Structure 1
């Protein structure tokens, strides 16, 4: 009876979601027909964001993940990280790959890897939903290089935002995974007595593909997935244009200004844009010239925690073939957004007392743009593809050392 009720609920949810998407699509099409020039410019803006920032940030992680899973490297890493992940988040060690790649590659890398782990039966539904909630993080390259350096002209602010973003994400993850799943639901490795090398060889035999076949499949599936993500970004860019042209943004800004003053009115436009798309939303926050620096930073922190409905749609697309639910993911993103914004405001005075930050926001000025700013806006994240892979290796090595310490401590305690 319960299963029947759940099926009815899911069917009703999908029907409503389909109706909303259909109405949105009709409105977007009508707007494109009525305003072709503006729609073309907004779609080009979305394409630029995808090509400069999203594609180079995600492509190497998508390909490496496919290859690493086929070669059994992910399984071996899981065996090494198992003590750390089970102690901290009650997740199997193989989840460490999703956490590390999601932290460095940015959204939606974590969702892609989590979906693959769930499809292969390496995590349960409960574990997959927890992992999906805590692995959806922004890339440090995006926060520090693009937002802080290129958009705001203040790199130190990027470090501040990145620390709070990851700290609040880990805090939400720790709280989120505290309820222990039933013992029968836990996927514990029956190969715990085997070495990571033995586990890797077994995974290779189970996969059975040659390296050439594996490489071709990895490139093909990764590029296909990125094309889908690009389509979502372009669609939401056009949707933001629709909202602007229909006067919804101006009306809400006027209402907010009449209720809470001019600051609220200035925050309304970037708030709405950030609700839909994180990259363009971050730039909108950097251009909110009527806001103090603290509230500007808090808005960006909230945006990074939320991720944007564009990213949410990408996560839905990547997890479509799994039983991972969207509701827990959306709730985790909302909590992450709120906590990050609160921490940004609460710690702003200590941050500025150290000599960082400024009383007024720093905006991107074409006449005084530094070389770093020019590179970030002109080339996006393409120059950082190789360094990001190095950051991934360092992060995995750090996780491994922590897991080794926990394993040694546990062995000494049980003697």
Structure 2
């Protein structure tokens, strides 16, 4: 009987009810936090992500993804146990930031170009911050010190690369010998053929298989990107309100106090706890708090690297929303984020002697 009352759905319903009550108690704060989340979506996320979503759809329709898949197959398989087509997702994910990697992974899975295990491996290490946000917003905007960008980038993206290497051991027995059109054919008569020729042929075949004209493809790409952006915007606004309500309920302060105690036991500056708790929920708030912590630059950069690599529950909700349309599981992604955060923070300390900014 007790298990019935502590079912995860029951806990979720209770939390939702509490937040609804808090929203009724603090209507002004609810409105302001909603507007703040909407502003972040419209002024930052929409212009940053929408073009990448449209372009990714176009590249899939034109078969360019298949072209890169053929070229990168010999590199991706030995490193990450992924078909070469995953190299395109890695590139786009690292350039354009979360949640583009998950979006492309879900598309490849829907087209049966990768299997479930490969999709879970891929989304686990392609969910990263984009370089513009890392350098412009975090290093320059929050730390007011562009010199921290090299060590922060090395820790964040280096940690992602290490997660990719670790994820190659995820369900090794379920690897597919061929993953749709993404695998490189290796009959003996083709050994001497130019890899470029094979890649161009794959791109042409994919374009014929798609069959949509340029006008229809562009229309479909814009519509699909808009639908996804609305989902992203809704989640950003929702978590902005949730964060505000939890702050007024005193939960954020309680979590910060507990984390301060843990940091003290670990020998870390206690004021970093605020950045850690803010980053637990939302990347921008956590990175901003890290830049203003004033506990020593090395520790501040380390917690910022953790925040960027963890991604915040807002990003997690976006990824979970994308994965819910497929058979890809959220748990491997969650574990990968935890590992990525720890690796990134550790890499800051390991690399600080070589990449530390000059004062």
Task: Normalising by structure 1, report the TM-score.
Answer: 0.77
CA distance in 2, matches of 1:263, 1:227: 40
Q: Which residue of 2 aligns with 1:274?
A: 279
Within 5 Å, which residues of 2 pair with 1:2-401? 18-178=9-169, 181-182=172-173, 185-188=176-179, 189=183, 191=185, 193=190, 195-257=198-260, 260=264, 265-289=270-294, 291-352=295-356, 356=357, 358=359
RMSD: 2.4
Partners of 2:62 and 2:274 lie apart in 1 by 47
Distance in 2 (CA, whole Å) between partners of 1:164 and 1:46 is 28
Q: Are the counterparts in 2 of residues 253 and 264 from structure 1 also a CA contact under 8 Å?
A: no
Segments of 5+ residues of structure 2 without an aligned counterpart are 191-196
Please state how far the C-alpha of 1:285 moved relative to its aligned partner. Answer: 1.8
Name the structure 2 match of 1:409: none
Offset at residue 305 of structure 1 (A): 1.1
| Deviation string, structure 1 residues 149-172 (Cα, Å, up to 9, x no partner) | 111111111222012111111011
Question: Aligned-pair distance for 1:57?
Answer: 2.1
1:91 alignment partner, SS class: coil
Alpha-carbon offset, residue 263 of structure 1: 6.8
Contact 2:117 2:175 in 1 (8 A): no
Change (3 A) 1:122 1:20: farther
Q: CA deviation at 1:36?
A: 1.4
- Secondary structure at 1:322's aligned position in 2? coil
Q: What are the Cα deviations for residues 19-73 of structure 1, in whole angstroms up to 9, with x where unaligned?
A: 4443333222222211111112222221222223222221121111111111111
CA distance in 2, matches of 1:88, 1:190: 16
Whether the 8 Å contact between 2:73 and 2:184 is mirrored in structure 1 is: no
Structure 1 residues 344 and 190: alpha-carbon distance in aligned structure 2, compared to 1, 3 A threshold? closer
Deviation at 1:218, TM superposition (A): 0.5
Structure 2 Cα separation of the partners of residues 252 and 128 of structure 1: 34
| Alpha-carbon shift at residue 191 of structure 1 (Å) | 4.8
Indicate how the Cα distance of structure 1 residues 265 and 160 shifts in structure 2: closer, same or farther if over 3 A, else same: closer
State the TM-score, normalizing by the size of structure 2: 0.88
TM-aligned CA deviation for residue 133 of structure 1: 0.7
